A and B are shown apart, each in its own frame.
Chain A
Amino acid sequence: MEEDDSLYVVQCQNGNTDAFGVLYDRYVEKIYRFVYYKVYSKETAEDITSDVFHKALQKINTFDTFKGTFSAWLYRIARNSVIDYYRKDKGDVSIEDTFDVGFDERTPETLDAIAALSKVSQYLETLTAKQREIIVLRVWEELSYQEIAAIVGGSEDSVKMAFSRGIRELREKCGPVSPLLLMLACGQLAATLHFHDFT
């Protein structure tokens, strides 16, 4: 069984850099994926991931193992780093203006799929950025609601509620779409969806 992260955090805080290496090995791929789901660019994801771990190492002495998990702390650094990246890139814009759901029109295989994709993306636009983020963290990263709550803020119950509401709203707003089209549309959309969360 893997030893708890807090053991390595304490060792790191006491000057043992090898302990940070253990934590790095545990989380680098997870953090990279987490960032990639938001930026969909290998180069940008690498830049931000690098930034995340540099910041984590620099700030490791400020982390209190009694106030939360290392995992949630690291994910929050990653989340904030993505926010910083887009704010530098897009300048001073409001949170609502920076939302963007993009899809590649070349990838859908049929005209019907393109239509369904457009329709689904329109519905997804009505979800909050946090709902989309929670769905990704739950479905793709398979994080627990407790972990997700620690990352995005809020209570575990509110995260559960947001997740189930998001699913319900997806179902309701897709309207009378056949399951086949829905499956095709969501598959294509999921591959090209950008989740930008600036809250």
Chain B
Amino acid sequence: MQDSLEHIMADIYALEPSLKKDDQVVRALVAELVTAKPTIAIDGVFMRTLKQELLKPTVRVATSQPKIPSSWWMFMTPLAATAVLVLMLIPTEPQPAQPVDSPTMQTELYMEAADIAPDMKRSGGAPSVEEASMMMVGDMPMADEGGLAQDGFAVGMYTYGNVAAGEFVQLSAPGFLVVTNAENTAVIGVSELLLPGSYDVVPVPLQLPITEGVTYLMSLYHDDGNGVFSITSDRLVFDEYGLPLQQPFTPNNPQVQ
């Protein structure tokens, strides 16, 4: 527990150094939260019962293997064969060959979960929040069940020549990745208009030379609809906590002229 507390304290002070002056109180607060963790014991019977329910064998299984004849067939087959033999020995006009239908070979193996516990109410009508959020993401920018942010980016590792780079960029609406000075008063570079989606790397061509060791700001903006970036009319994107999607960065390798 002490290791956990120290890790948490280190996190807090890295993010909020001003809290160090109240170290005793903050430490006491966090320590109490850590030790106040309720002891939750899951019912072993519930756990085992649920597992059995989940892993119950399928009800409907159709395999590609030939079906094993029933005992009825096994009894009748020799009689039928004898009857055919007798008919063959009786002189008759040749009969056209009859097509024989082979058994349908289908390979279907279903894995069906057991019914939902009877005391749980089923949601009806419109899909629930859970069902909607569990839809697989095709070309949508947000993969809710994958846990990806709706908008976001990371500053690329390197700046090459006159190009900065944003990585893992995600947009929920058309927008731009923009590089400015640290005070966000002068635009240095703007990406091309990005459509909603995910991008591994987004180049941001730089209009002005940048200097090694100087801090700049990379920001994500949503377009105001005209397809042209304007720092006054386009909207800076904020995350769920009200924080602007902006990241300062300091190039370590010099710009190649």
Contacts and interface: CB of A to CB of B under 8 A. Distances in A.
A149 interface: yes
* Chain B CB within 10 A, most for which of A54, A63, A142, A155: A155
A150 B187 CA distance: 32
B7 to A, nearest CB: 9
B133 A80 contact: yes
Contacts of B117: 47, 50-51, 54
Contacts of A76: 133, 144-145, 147
Contacts of A138: 8
Contacts of B38: 36-37, 140, 190-191
Interface stretch (B50-58, B66-74, B92-100, B201-209): B50-58
A130 interface: yes
Interface stretch (B77-85, B159-167, B174-182, B238-246): B238-246
Given A50-B117, A186-B29, A15 B111 contact: yes
B120 interface: yes
Interface in B120-149: 120-121, 123, 128-130, 133-137, 143-149
A171 B51 contact: no
B28 interface: yes
* Chain B CB within 10 A, most for which of A53, A63, A157: A157
A162 B47 contact: no
Interface stretch (B15-23, B210-218, B228-236): B15-23
A98 interface: no
A130 B113 CA distance: 33
A73 B146 CA distance: 6
A68 interface: yes
Given A77-B134, A84-B128, A149-B149, A158 B30 contact: no
B149 A183 contact: no
A53 B48 CA distance: 13
B1 to A, nearest CB: 10
A144 B201 CA distance: 26
Interface residues of B, number: 64
Contacts, number: 200
A37 B128 CA distance: 22
B32 A164 contact: no
B75 interface: no
A68 B19 contact: no
A67 B25 CA distance: 41
Contacts of A157: 243
Contact of B55 (A21, A32, A55): A21
Nearest to B113: A57
A72 interface: yes
Contact of B149 (A64, A83, A155): A155
Contacts of A33: 40, 42
B11 A163 contact: yes
B33 A168 contact: no
B25 A179 contact: yes
5 contacts: A62-B136, A150-B148, A165-B241, A170-B29, A190-B38
Interface of A: 15, 17-18, 20-21, 24-25, 28-29, 32-33, 36-37, 42, 46-47, 49-51, 53-55, 57-59, 62-64, 67-69, 72-73, 76-77, 80-81, 83-84, 87-88, 130, 135, 138-140, 142, 145, 149-151, 153-155, 157-158, 160-165, 167-168, 170-171, 174, 179, 182-183, 186-187, 190-191, 199
Across chains A and B, which 4 residue pairs bring their CB atoms closest together, nearest first? A150-B147, A68-B146, A67-B146, A190-B36
Interface of B: 4, 8, 11-12, 15-16, 18-19, 22, 24-26, 28-38, 40, 42-43, 46-47, 50-51, 53-55, 109, 111, 113-114, 116-117, 119-121, 123, 128-130, 133-137, 143-150, 152, 239-241, 243
Given A24-B50, A29-B47, A164-B16, 6 more contacts: A50-B116, A84-B123, A171-B26, A190-B32, A191-B36, A191-B38
